[in-house]
Each structure stands twice: as C-alpha cells, then as structure tokens.
Chains A and B, each alone.
Chain A
Amino acid sequence: MNNAARITGAALLTLGLALFGWKIFFLGLPLVPSDPEGLWAADLAVQARGGPGTASVTVALPESEPGQVIFDERSVSEGLSFAVRSHGGQRLGVWSGPVDGAINVAAGFRVQLNANTEPKARTDEQTDDALLGATIELPARAPEVQALLERLRLADVGSEADRARMAFAFVNDEVGIVPTGSDDAILTLASREGSPSGKTRLLATLLRAAEVPSRVVVGVRLERGTLPTEVPWVEAYAGGRWISMSPTEGFFGNRPPGLLVMRRGSLNLVEATGVDAVVHRFHAIPERLRPDELATMMSPSSTILESLSLYRLPVATQNALRALLLLPLGGLAVSFFRNIVGLPTFGTFMPILIAYTLRETSLGLGLVMVFSVLAIGILTRVLLDRLHLLMVPRLSILLCIVVLVVVLLALWGRGLDQTDLFSGVLFPIVILTMLVERFSITLAEEGLRGALVKAGWSVLIAVAVYPVFRSVLAEHIMFGFPELLFVVMGILVWMGAYTGYRVSDLIRFRSFAQERDDS
C-alpha cells in the first residue's frame, strides 16, 4: 500500500470516527436503537394545483388523547401562511395565501400509539343535538332512512346499546363494499353496496335516526411492513360510554390498536378552496428511537448539528435517505468481495442493486424475481438465436418479455388479492431489466457458464448484503450518523490501495505450493 493512500485513508477514517465518537460520547446520542413499539413519524402531504388567486387548504390534525400521544409537530408551507385552528373540538391546520400553479404542503408529527383505545369522555361541547342531528353527510331524516328504521323496528328496541348493535349488524351483514362504490349514505343504502366511506356514513346515519348519539371518525392504520391506509369508523355514545364500530374493518366495542385517530365528525382529511386537483398522501415510518432519544437526535446541544439532523426532514425524504445511506455499505461489501476475495460479478453496482431489490420486496419474492429474469434471459436467447437478430433490438425484445411477465404477475397478484404487490416495486423492476441486459450480454460474450458464474456470485453477494440492508441497527447508525460515510470512504481508500493477493489468486496459483514433481 502506498503512503499517500495510507494517510488519506487514515485521515478519512479519523475524521468520521472522531465525529461519530463526539456525537456518541459527548452529546450522548443513542448508538443502539431501542426500537419502541407503536412510535411513528408520519406526515400528511397535500398536492394541489390552481390559481392565480387566493386559496386555502385545510387538513385534519390529530390530537393527543387516550391511545395516542402527538408530538414534534411541524409543517411545510411553501410560501403560504399556516395556522392551527379549532373547529367544533377538531384541530385543523389551515394554509392560505395566493396560489399560482402547483403547491405542496405537509403537516408532520410523531405519534406514540398505545393499547388504550377508548375515546375520551364526552365534553359539554358534544351535545345530543350535535350528535343526533341530520346533516348533508348523515341525512338521518331522509324518507329512505326512516323507512329502513321502520322495517328493522329499531325504534322499538329499549337500550341505546342494543339499537347500536342492531344497526351495526344490518350495515355489516347486508351492505357490501366495493372500492369504486358510492361515498353517499343514501346511495349506499339504495344499492346495498358502497365505498368504505359510504358504508360508514350509512351506519352513522342509521344510528342517528335511531336516536343513538354518534359521529364518524377517520383515522390511519399504522402497521409495520405495510403502507399506511385511511380507515373510517363510527363512534356511538351508548349506555354512558363510547362504542367504536366499523362495518368495513369489522370491529365493535373498542377499536383495535394501531389506528391513529385523525378527525372526528367528518371523513374528510383534506378540504380545499380556490384550488383543484387536490391529492393527499399519508407517509409513515416506524421510529426506532424513544421520544427522549429522538429529542437528542433532533436537537443536539450544538446548533450546527441541529441544522444537519436528518430527523428533521419530511418523512418521505427520510425514507429515501434511509435507503440511500445504506448503499455505501453495499459498495464496501462488493469492493471486499471483488478486490480482496476476487469474485466475478456483473459490474460493480449490480450486486448492490440486487440487494436493494431484495430489501424493497422480500428475500423470497426478490429471489423469485431475479431467477425468473435470468431464466427469461436464457430462454429468450435460445428462442431468438435462430432469428439471427441484432443486439439492441434483441435486448429490447427481452425488455418487452420482462414487462409482459410483470403484467402477468400483476394479474395473478390481483387474483391473490395482493393489490399492493407492485406498488412499491417499480424501481426493483427497473433494476431487474438492467440485470437481464447485463446477463444476456455476458451470455453472448462469455457463454452460458461464464454468465451463470457471474450471476451466481452477484446474487450470492446480494444475499450476503441483504441482512445489512434490512438491519434496523445499520439503518439507524447510517441515518443518525452519516459522518460514517467518511469511515466507509477511508476503508475503501485502503482497499483500493491493497496490492496483495486476492483469495482467487491463492486458488489459481495453488500449484506453486505443491512439490515440483514434473522434472
């Protein structure tokens, strides 16, 4: 190893480790994630388009109550003014100002969910009038609803709790859900099927018609390993306590844990005036640190570090950076396997990209996808060889076949009710098409054996890197301490200056260790 490389590597290593050590030992930042249950970083992002003119966007803001503690609230405003208002006991975030073109705003917060899911007791504001009256959304006086009330003989039943149970049983059993169904209570009743919102509104309407004080609630289901989904339900006040029930999720009594309450009294998370094409999206990632640890990560006792803390970024950006910051570790692994061990792979980054594919899907599904793509590569070669086609069109045909297979998989996935099979895997599919290109070029250049050897080692290295890419600890350390990139670079400088033997050299030249037996 030459001296310049030795010193450069050592300098990078020292710099990274010094920053890292300072943050750990002097600022007391947590090295090992405590991985608490039910703690999430979330944000509700709204994208709208409109103007020129004055516009306002209103989103529901969650509130601390039994079952959930909200903290670290922040907003992204993009030049609009932001205010938090209270409307009928509901917290709302309101952005307003002149708009011309696209606007992106977001309300972010952290939430600790816990097992106690009983709504807090009724306050004076929540009078019977407010919980029983007919509204546009909940038309409890409509003739169709009254007719249904008659038919079910709901008015004859004594207790509020029994009426609530009967109304729930009717909506739960007799009304179907279709995702494209109506959001309207009356239309849902007429066609005996509706959207989750429609079904929920119908239940609340029916309850109010039957003199059970009730309101609709919209929340978000936060569950590890799945995307956050909006969930509507109904809260009815019967027998001196709140009963939560959902004819779409199928619960009655208490709501199950993992549901974050966003808004009561309306199912709209977002309302806007003066703009159109309003799209909202909920992002959430599980936090790996306790709230007090998060506080030290976000506001270490150094102003420079505070401004550099990645924990202050929007959730979607955090998510992307968490994945991105792991890639250098993959680079480290590939450098080791190629330059110290001497394994042949497809390019430098292909094993990292395959490992990334596995991270985004799962080990099983990812490997199935990788091997099917390789099989397609071989099969296409066998089939197209006779046609004597030129390289680029042939590779493009391969691309068409990969897309075709993905389409078939998506259809098959729908059959299995796995609608989200492909929502998060567009990037992996792009990676796989790159893999099939590299593979089939190698197939042509070096033959089946050479291509399979390279593919095999690439996949094996990817599988070796995969646990690191999935590791909560590695993700936390790289995200919380990005200065470790300098350490990675330092090691890479050293590795790059390593001029000694590779393990593959030892195998290849092993005959030199044997006795000279041929003279």
Chain B
Amino acid sequence: MKAVLDALRREGILGINGRNARYTLKANPRRLYPLVDDKLRTKQLCLDAGIPTPALLGSASHHFEIRDLLVRLEQHDRFVLKPARGAMGNGILVVTGRDEKGFVRSGGRRVTVDAIRYHAASIISGLYALGGQNDVAMVEELLQVHPDLVEITKDGVPDIRVIIYRGIPAMAMTRLPTSSSGGRANLHQGAVGAGIDIRTGNITHAVCKGRPVRRHPDSRLLLRGRPLPRFEEVLEIAVRATDQTGLNYVGADIVVDARYGPVILELNARPGLAVQVANRAGLQPRLESIDRLWRPDRPLAERISLGQEIGEVAYDA
C-alpha cells in the first residue's frame, strides 16, 4: 500500500476526492451542469456555435411521440437510440442495419420494433437518467469509423476523450472497442484505453481491463506510435465546445467520423480518472501548470499550443 501511495504521489495522480474538491466543485458551477447533462442542450449549444455534432434524426419527450419517432426511423437503417440525460453510456441502443425480420443491433443481435418502442418508453420514464426524472429519447445518426482506426476497432465506434481545464487541453485518450466490450467504447466493459501524446496525436501507451497492453486484443496490431486522424481538429472542437458551456473542468467526447471528421458526442462535467491510467501519467502536475500559466483572454490557438507544451514538459520529465 505504501509503495502504491508513494508512486501515486510521485506521478501526481489525481484521486476522486482531489478531483471533486479541487476541480469539479470549484471549476464547475452547479447551475451549468444541465448544459452538459442533457445531450440535446449540448447539441444545440454546438449547433449555435457551428461545431459539428452527429445529426439528430428525431426525439421523443412524451410517450405519445414514440409513434412519430418510429415512423421517422423507417427511412433509416443505421442509428443510435439513447437517453438525453443518461450517464456512463447506459441505455444506448445501436442499430446497424435491418432486414425483412427487423433491425440488427451492433454485435449482430436482432431487435424488434416492439423492443425499440419499449426501450424508448423506458428512456422517457427516466430509467437511465441521472436521478431518475423524466427524460427524452433521442435518435442520432450512426457514425462511421474513420478508415485509419478501422483496424484497431472491433464492432463499434472509437471515441476520443479530451480533458479540458480552464479552456486548455490537459490530457487525452482514445477508447477503442473490443469484442469483449461488445462494441462499446467503455473501459469498464473491456475497451482498450490508449493515451495520446497531445503534441502529435500519436498513441503512447494502452491499457485493457486495468493491464498494460501493446496490441489491440482483436487485431493484434501494435498501438504505440499509431497516429490518430485529424487530431488538431479534435483538440480545437473540444476546446470550442467547452468554451460554449462556461464550465472549467470538462471531459469532451469526440468521434472522428469517416465522412464528417471530428464531431462532438457529448461533454462531461465530472470526467473520470481512467485517462491517467491510459496515459500512464498523473493529471495533477498538468492542471497545476495550467493554473500557473493561465491568463485571461488567450486566443484559442494559443491555448491549444499551451496545453501541448505542458503535455510535452510532462512527457520529457
């Protein structure tokens, strides 16, 4: 235990109490949480600022609207049905195609129209919402995996999590779905978490189920050094979207789509700490550097390069 404690202190690992007391509690005013807890509001915020997000195919905030929603879905074969206020990826239903018998879910399982109707109703009843209040069922276009990432992805869409503190990117990782994560980009369920050198956008180090890995468990391809596509743009929209919210400690989730490039999936006001494991680096020194170097009214490009410099110091140290 003592050895672990010393190591965590040496690396500047941020713990849950430290994150809550020093960052989320201080940097994120409570009243701004609804902006990011409700994905429809986040989407509207991004649209207003011209920041790309996945296309919204429809939504239903009342049970009687489900029928209309299903009618609209008849024109689409590939979509994602999810709760607007869901947490931790719960309640997300991914439909990847259809045939005469009905819809096909990611991973090949079939799903009937009835099951989709029930899922939408469960969402509206607040089953997946934070706190269990009524929620909105929203349907988004299914994103396409960027060709550069296809060979290190299995059955799903990888995303990139960027931690932004006071408008400056501090750390980033990508979450690569595996067959054991069932196509989900969720580290708890067995997705690979890969740290990103934010100067270059190259993968530095990766973990899967809490253990360091060198290769993607499905394709057996080496991960280290592999570049992520359009990473500069990823950082840019992450910071721009965060600027719209007024929040100061945010985890931005971004997908690099094959057709549209980087799009904002969602923002998180209480981002988790696994990004440190994926990067094999602590957040604490970077956040402290940001506090030291922060000046009001820095332009966007300057803030991004500042974050990259801080990241560089961290890698060199």
Task: Pick the contact of A512: B8, B91, B128, B132 (CB < 8 A).
Answer: B8
Which of the candidate stretches A75-83, A115-123, A493-501 sits at the interface with the other chain?
A493-501
Within 8 A of A (CB), among B17-66: 17-18, 21-22
**Scoring B residues 162 to 203 as 1 if CB is less than 8 Å from chain A, else 0, what string do you get?**
000000000000000000000000000000000000000000
A441 contacts partner chain B, Cβ-Cβ < 8 Å: yes
Instruction: From known contacts A510-B4, A516-B280, A518-B212, infer whether A502 and B127 are also in contact, taking CB-CB under 8 Å.
Output: no
Compute how far the CA of A109 lies from the CA of B225 in the bound complex, rounded to whole angstroms: 83
Q: Kindly identify, within residues 495 to 519 of chain A, every residue whose CB is under 8 Å from any CB belonging to chain B.
A: 497-502, 504-506, 508-513, 516-519
Which chain B positions have C-beta within 8 A of A512?
4, 7-8, 11, 13, 280
Given A390-B125, A506-B4, A506-B8, A511–B210 Cβ distance below 8 Å?
yes
Smallest beta-carbon distance A250→chain B, Å: 57
Complex: chain A residue closest to B86, CB-CB: A445
A392 interface residue (CB < 8 Å to B): yes
Q: Contact: B132 with A511, CB < 8 Å?
A: no
Query: Is A513 touching B13 in the complex (CB atoms < 8 A)?
Result: no
A299 to chain B: which residues have CB within 8 Å? none
Query: Closest approach, in angstroms, between the C-beta of A445 and any C-beta of chain B?
Result: 5
Contact partners of A392 in chain B: CB under 8 A? 125
Q: Within 8 Å of chain B (Cβ to Cβ): is A21? A: no
**Residues of chain A in range 374-398 having any CB-CB distance to chain B below 8 Å:** 388, 390-392
A337 to chain B, nearest CB (A): 13
Chain B residues 199-219 with CB under 8 Å of chain A are 205, 207, 210-214
Residue from A446, A497, A509, A517 within 8 A of B4 (CB atoms): A509
Report A501 CB to chain B, min CB distance, Å.
4
Separation of A508 and B11 alpha carbons in the complex (Å): 14
B127 touches A513 (CB 8 A): no
- Cβ–Cβ < 8 Å partners of A519 in chain B: 205
Contact of A501 among B15, B22, B128 (CB under 8 A): B15
**Shortest Cβ distance from A506 into chain B, in angstroms?**
5
Q: Give bound CA distance, A388 to B21, whole Å.
A: 41
Say yes or no: B127 contacts A445, CB within 8 Å.
yes
* A516 to B10 Cα, complex, angstroms: 14
Contact with A along B111-140 (1 / 0, CB 8 A): 000100010011001111000100000000
Contact status A501-B17, CB under 8 Å: yes
Residues from chain A with a CB closer than 8 A to the CB of B205 are: 518-519
Contacting residues, chain A, for B125 (C-beta < 8 A): 390-392
Q: Please tell me if the beta carbons of B17 and A509 are within 8 angstroms of each other in the complex.
A: no
Contacts of B114 in A (CB 8 A): 388
Q: Is the CB of B5 within 8 A of A388?
A: no
Bound-complex Cα distance A79 to B287 (A):
68
Contacts of B132 in A (CB 8 A): 391, 441
CA of A390 to CA of B119, assembled, Å: 10
Does A133 make an interface contact (CB < 8 A)? no
A499 proximity list for chain B (CB < 8 A) = 15, 17-18, 21-22
| A228 located at the interface, meaning its Cβ lies under 8 Å from any Cβ of chain B in the complex | no
Q: B51: shortest Cβ distance to chain A, in Å?
A: 30
- Interface size on A, as a range, is 20 to 34
Given A511-B277, A512-B8, A516-B280, residue A505 in contact with residue B122 (CB < 8 A): no
Cα separation A506 to B90 with both chains bound (whole Å): 26
Given contacts A441-B132, A501-B8, A513-B7, contact A391 B126 (CB under 8 A): yes
Cβ of B16 within 8 Å of any chain A Cβ, yes or no, is yes
B317 on interface, CB distance cutoff 8 Å: no
Q: Which residue of A is nearest B207, CB measured? A: A511
What is the minimal beta-carbon distance from A346 to any residue of chain B, in angstroms?
13
Note all chain B residues with C-beta closer than 8 A to A498: 17
Q: A residues 117-170 with Cβ under 8 Å of B? A: none
In the complex the two chains form, what is the Cα distance from A500 to B4 in whole Å? Answer: 13
- Residues of chain B contacted by A505 (CB below 8 angstroms): 8, 13, 15-16, 273
Interface size on B, residues (CB 8 A): 39
Q: In this assembly, does B3 line the interface, its C-beta being within 8 Å of a C-beta of chain A?
A: yes
Task: With both chains docked as a complex, state the minimum distance between the C-beta of A368 and any C-beta of chain B, in angstroms.
Answer: 29
Contact of A506 with B1 at beta-carbon distance under 8 Å, contacts A391-B122, A518-B205 already known: yes
Residues of chain A with a CB closer than 8 A to B5's CB: 501, 506
Smallest beta-carbon distance A224→chain B, Å: 43
Whether a CB of chain B sits under 8 angstroms from the CB of A339 is yes
Cβ B3 vs Cβ A504 within 8 A: no
Which of A441, A500, A506, A517 is close to B17, meaning CB atoms less than 8 Å apart?
A: A500
Q: Is the CB of A391 within 8 A of B18?
A: no
Min Cβ gap B19→A in Å is: 9
Q: Is B276 an interface residue (CB 8 A)?
A: yes
Contacts of A504 in B (CB 8 A): 16
- Please, which residue of chain A has its CB at the minimum distance from the CB of B88? A446
Residues of B within 8 A of A388 (CB): 114, 118, 121
**B212, A511: Cβ atoms under 8 Å?**
yes
Chain A neighbourhood of B213, CB < 8 A: 518
* CB atoms of A509 and B277 under 8 A apart: yes
Annotate B261-278 by CB proximity to A: 1 below 8 A, 0 otherwise: 000000000000100110
**Nearest-Cβ distance from residue A230 to partner chain B, whole angstroms:** 48
Does A444 reach chain B (CB closer than 8 Å)? Answer: yes
Rounded to whole angstroms, the CA-CA distance of A505 and B20 in the bound complex is 13
A509 touches B127 (CB 8 A): no
Q: Which residues of A contact B22 (CB under 8 A)?
A: 499
Most buried by A among B11, B16, B125, B214: B16
The complex places the Cα of A518 from the Cα of B205 at a distance, in Å, of 8
Tell yes or no: A342 within 8 A of B by CB.
yes
Rounded to whole angstroms, the CA-CA distance of A516 and B121 in the bound complex is: 48
- Among B17, B22, B121, B273, chain A packs the most CB atoms within 10 A around the CB of B17
Give the contacting residue for A444; candidates B88, B127, B273, B276; CB below 8 A. B127
Alpha-carbon distance between A191 and B166 when the two chains are bound, in angstroms: 89
Chain A 475-509 interface mask (CB, 8 Å, partner B; 1/0): 00000000000000000000001111110111011
A388-B114, A444-B127, A511-B211 known, 4 other contacts, Cβ within 8 Å = A509-B8, A511-B212, A512-B4, A512-B8
Name B's A-contacting residues (CB within 8 A).
Answer: 1, 3-8, 11, 13, 15-18, 21-22, 87-88, 90-91, 114, 118, 121-122, 125-128, 132, 205, 207, 210-214, 273, 276-277, 280
Kindly list the 8 A-B residue pairs having the minimum CB-CB distance in the complex, ordered from nearest: A513-B7, A505-B15, A501-B15, A388-B118, A391-B125, A518-B212, A499-B21, A513-B4
A-B contact pairs, 15 of them (CB 8 A): A441-B132, A445-B90, A445-B128, A499-B22, A501-B8, A504-B16, A505-B13, A506-B4, A508-B277, A509-B4, A511-B207, A511-B212, A511-B277, A513-B7, A518-B205
Task: State the A residues within 8 Å of B (CB).
Answer: 339, 342, 388, 390-392, 441, 444-446, 497-502, 504-506, 508-513, 516-519
